[in-house]
Amino acid sequence: MSKQKYLVMNIASCFDCNDCFMSCKDEHVGNDWMPYTESQPRHESRWLKLLRTERGQCPRIDVGYLALMCQHCENAPCLNAFPDCITRREDGIVLIEPDKARGKKEIVDSCPYGAIYWNEEKNVAQKCTMCAHIIDSGVQPCKPRCSHSCPTDSIEYYDIEPEEMAKIIEEQGLEVYRPELGTKPHVYYKNLYRFTKAFITGAVVDTETDDDVENVSITLKGNGVEETQITDYFGEFKFDKLLPGTYTLEIDGKTVKTVELDKSLNIGEIFI
Ligand code: SF4
Ligand code: SF4
């Protein structure tokens, strides 16, 4: 297989500045990049949209942002449904051919990620092209605009052999979004747990002094997990990457709390 194009988005380093979204608009609104795509409408179409999730309860919360664009699937439902007007290039980029897709609004519903938008003015279905017009031009920096503009380098672009990509996936613990769809995306996510998994957090407090207690060994057990942490300066602990289920917290071998977890939970203070 020839070199393949991939995008990798790091959820932990995205701070919702929306530069990626704005640069996608800047590149594609008012510009026809034929034969790749016609211009993107100024409003409504979000070829890249930042999904947001909030975990925990105040004051122990975190917020994660996931940049969702066309996932350039190897097993693309859109292509399977409309092989006459959607193509997958040898380098992995999936494109909707504007002239062949004109008037076919039903293409929008063929993407399980909701990544295809209807352009009313042009009468055509559209989506992220991975900025193939830039990549093919060879003009430096030869990468998609959203990747180029991200100030925290949260969207990386790769043009590499699948074997090299497999190593990066392994080394960085990359995952695909919604793997149950079986679409084999060319967009990967780092720290996807910030979107898909839950945490249990809280603090250990001294009953007599009412002070936070540092350096307490606390163990979480249950649902196939056994992990021990040491409380920090504020007496706090945070067990993350958890699936729903029943968990117990132990200090000095004694159960101090049992938790039924279905979403991230700040259990507050544990008095010892
Ligand atoms: Fe097609 Fe949607 Fe996959 Fe993109 S994300 S290739 S539009 S099915
Ligand atoms: Fe938009 Fe290009 Fe990024 Fe796709 S790769 S979301 S078209 S800027």
DSSP structure class, residue 103: T
Query: Which ligand 1 atom is the nearest neighbour of the CA of 69?
Result: 5
How much is the pLDDT for 2?
Answer: 86
Residue 188 Cα to ligand 2 middle (Å): 15
Query: Which ligand 2 atom is the nearest neighbour of the CA of 131?
Result: 2
Going residue by residue through the chain, which has 272 residues, state the pLDDT in tens, using 9 for 90 and above. Answer: 789 999 999 999 999 999 999 999 999 999 999 999 999 999 999 999 999 999 999 999 999 999 999 999 999 999 999 999 999 999 999 999 999 999 999 999 999 999 999 999 999 999 999 999 999 999 999 999 999 999 999 999 999 999 999 999 999 999 999 999 999 999 999 999 999 999 999 999 999 999 999 999 999 999 999 999 999 999 999 999 999 999 999 999 999 999 999 999 999 999 99
Q: Which two tokens stand for residue 139?
A: 């003009």
Tell me if the pTM is above 0.85. yes
Residue 234 Cα to ligand 2 middle (Å): 42
135 in contact with ligand 2, CB cutoff 6 A: no
Task: Enumerate the H helices of the chain as residue ranges.
Answer: 19-28, 77-81, 98-101, 132-137, 145-149, 162-172, 193-196
Q: Whose C-alpha lies nearest to ligand 1, atom 1? A: 78
Beta bridge partners of 55: 62
In this structure, are strands 60-68 and 49-57 parallel, antiparallel, or unpaired? antiparallel
108 in contact with ligand 1, CB cutoff 6 A: no
Query: Which ligand 2 atom is the nearest neighbour of the CA of 23?
Result: 8
Q: Whose C-alpha lies nearest to ligand 2, atom 2? A: 131
Query: Are the CB atoms for 58 and 264 separated by under 8 Å?
Result: no
259 in contact with ligand 2, CB cutoff 6 A: no
Cα-Cα end-to-end distance for the chain: 60
186 in contact with ligand 1, CB cutoff 6 A: no
How much is the pLDDT for 144?
Answer: 98
Q: How far apart are CA 95 and CA 111, in angstroms?
A: 13
How much is the pLDDT for 100?
Answer: 96
For residue 213, the one-letter residue type is: V
